[in-house]
């Protein structure tokens, strides 16, 4: 079992899903991705989560993000569960769910945590960039539903900071001011950040979000 760290290339795999066979790196292409696992089909919290993800499809598409779910149950189970998700969450599941019955993907991504359960995957989230590198990992307890607004917020930050020399402060949301990274000298700021900046402290310099008009 491997440990996935930030900056690692997301391990590739081939697996069956509700939308056919997936070679993960080919499926990803040049887009971003969220890979998230759930312990088993027909679990109540995950039923609400998969319904929420389906409703967020347009938001993920705007950010060039593909979504794929996984559990150790089989395809037939997944397909029947999708009917329940669609019915109870008033939506249509519009992303693949991987059937990882041999736990191959779960082991690649360290989704089996023996202190939680020897057989079932924990509820992990991996955000993977278009360079196929892991940008974020979060593991949730079974009792706490995932916050997909927060995942969108993180993706906005990751995509912004990948192209501009800024970081995002506490509780930042898309459109808020950003922090100029320390590697940028004061002399470089006018050319790089023409909207101006505010120096709170020499190490804390704020500027309007650079990729907005």
Active site residues per annotation = 46
Question: What is the SS3 assignment for the chain?
Answer: CCCCCCCCECCCCEEEECCEEEEHHHHHCCCEEEEEECCCCCCHHHHHHHHHHHHCHHHHHHCCEEEEEEECCCHHHHHHHHHHHHHHHCCCCCCCEEECCCCHHHHHCCCECCCCCCCCECEEEEEECCCCEEEEEEEECCCCCCCHHHHHHHHHHHHHHHHCCEECCCCCCCCCCEEECCCCCCCCHHHHCCCCCEEEECCEEEECCCCCC
Quote the tokens at residue 25: 């790196």
CA distance 197 to 187: 12
């Amino acid at each position: 079992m491997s440990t996935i760290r930030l900056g690692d290339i997301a391990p590739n795999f081939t697996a069956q899903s509700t939308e056919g066979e997936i070679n993960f790196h080919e499926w990803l292409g040049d887009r971003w991705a969220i890979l998230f696992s759930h312990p088993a089909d027909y679990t109540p919290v995950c039923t609400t989560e998969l319904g929420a993800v389906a409703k967020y499809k347009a938001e993920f598409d705007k950010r060039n993000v593909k979504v794929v779910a996984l559990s150790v149950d089989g395809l037939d189970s997944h397909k029947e569960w999708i009917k329940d998700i669609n019915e109870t969450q008033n939506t249509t599941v519009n992303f693949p769910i991987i059937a990882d019955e041999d736990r191959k993907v779960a082991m690649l991504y360290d989704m089996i945590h023996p202190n939680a359960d020897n057989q079932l995957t924990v509820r992990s989230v991996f955000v993977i960039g278009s360079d196929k590198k892991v940008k974020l990992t979060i593991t949730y307890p079974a009792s706490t539903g995932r916050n997909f607004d927060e995942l969108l917020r993180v993706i906005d930050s990751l995509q912004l900071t990948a192209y501009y020399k800024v970081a995002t402060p506490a509780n930042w949301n898309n459109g808020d001011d950003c922090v100029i990274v320390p590697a940028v000298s004061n002399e470089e700021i006018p050319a790089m950040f023409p909207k101006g900046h505010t120096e709170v402290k020499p190490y804390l310099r704020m500027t309007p979000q650079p990729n907005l008009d």
